[in-house]
Amino acid sequence: MKKSNIWMSVLALALLGTACIEQEVMLEEKPRTQAWNLAVRAEKEPDTKGLDLVGNRLNTLWRSSETVCVLAKGSYLAETLAVTPDAQNAKLATLSGSVNVSDVHVDDVLTLQIPRQTWDYTGQKGVLLGSDEAGSIEKDYAYALADVTVTGVAPGSEMMGTLTTTNAHFVNQQAVYRLNFKNGDAPLAVKDVTLSSNKGKIVLSRDLAAGTTTYGSLSVNMATSSADLPDGMIYVALRNDDTTAQDYFFSVTGADGLAYTGSKAIPAEAFSYGFLGIQDLALTKLQLPKSDTPVAEVL
């Protein structure tokens, strides 16, 4: 009987030890909080986006219609942050929302991107302003980035925690060019413009997550012609990854249906500005092909 009691005690202790081990394993495998409330104070540098053109000055304003993409650990998050501009100063805003990111720590860096995740300069219409107008630079092409550092991680309860970060200072990623053309001494209204460079570094698209960039000739197609744009000016968002002196080449279709070409030398110092004007650029009319000659062969 005494031996039986001893064996029962040993068995009980063994079971208790097993339960403790299983409990410890369960505690170790408990998932970490992955949903986080995030609020970031943000500002835009001059000539970034939320544009407000006054004379030759391109001001920067936040719009409540904007959203901010978040890049964490090399991948874009599915969630975006909403924008609440400051009532007294629309150059400042609070970016807020809930995001899902795992294994986040103090000193991790998050990259914020506006105005959209798809970084693509194609499809422009020559329009600068229009926060709700598809194809305008303000809505779709004024890309800007900001890196913020995580300063606090509070797990919270019910799988929802809170992240705090440094303030965000957005830096624009391209210049805005204002163009118009002449045929001789007469203003020339155009339907489309294709711009290229002898350095071959005009950006068509970027993907931060994949680390890729596509270069080529950038085309801008007006809905009708430049004559219907404000002041007859064509606006182009253009990123050039070569900032040395170079030549830009323009292939243009006029509102008259004829083809024109021209070029402009761009000095290196011009690339330090966010808002550039190439005005009254004189173009040369190309000789018309015969009716039986494909246009592609002539161009």
Q: Are residues 51 and 147 in the same domain?
A: yes
Structure confidence at residue 34 (pLDDT): 76
How far, in Å, CA of 289 to CA of 295, rounded? 7
Structure confidence at residue 200 (pLDDT): 97
Q: Are residues 125 and 249 in the same domain?
A: no
Q: Are residues 87 and 180 in the same domain?
A: no
Q: Are residues 97 and 211 in the same domain?
A: no
Q: Which spans in the chain are helix H?
A: 2-29, 295-298
Q: Are residues 158 and 62 in the same domain?
A: yes
Q: Is residue 63 part of a domain?
A: yes
Kindly report, residue by residue over 43-66, the tens digit of the pLDDT.
876 544 344 455 555 557 888 888
DSSP 87: S
Structure confidence at residue 280 (pLDDT): 78
288 CB-near residues (< 8 Å, 6+ apart): 258
Q: Is residue 125 part of a domain?
A: yes
How far, in Å, CA of 148 to CA of 111, rounded? 6
Q: Are residues 161 and 205 in the same domain?
A: no
Q: Is residue 156 part of a domain?
A: yes
Task: Report the chain's mean pLDDT, rounded to a whole number.
Answer: 81
Residues β-bridged to residue 183: 186, 283
Q: Are residues 190 and 254 in the same domain?
A: yes
Spatial contact of 227 and 255, defined as CB atoms under 8 Å apart:
yes
Q: Are residues 73 and 112 in the same domain?
A: yes
Structure confidence at residue 5 (pLDDT): 52
**Residue ranges in the chain whose pLDDT is less than 70:** 1-33, 45-59, 131, 158, 273-275, 287-299
Domain count, the chain: 2
Q: Is residue 249 part of a domain?
A: yes
Structure confidence at residue 82 (pLDDT): 96
Spatial contact of 177 and 163, defined as CB atoms under 8 Å apart:
no
Structural domain for 61, as ranges: 35-172
Residue found under tokens 């986080």: 36
Q: Is residue 57 part of a domain?
A: yes
Of 136, 155, 172, the residue that ends a domain is 172
Q: Are residues 163 and 188 in the same domain?
A: no
Type of residue found at 84:
T
Q: Are residues 168 and 44 in the same domain?
A: yes
128 CB-near residues (< 8 Å, 6+ apart): 51, 53, 136, 137, 138, 176, 178, 230, 235
Residues β-bridged to residue 120: 205
Of 172, 195, 222, the residue that ends a domain is 172
Spatial contact of 286 and 261, defined as CB atoms under 8 Å apart:
yes
Q: Is residue 21 part of a domain?
A: no
Of 157, 172, 187, the residue that ends a domain is 172
- pTM value is 0.80
Q: Is residue 49 part of a domain?
A: yes
CATH number (domain holding residue 206): 2.60.40
∠ Cα 157 160 163 (to 5°): 110
Q: Is residue 261 part of a domain?
A: yes
Q: Are residues 168 and 74 in the same domain?
A: yes
Q: Are residues 168 and 196 in the same domain?
A: no
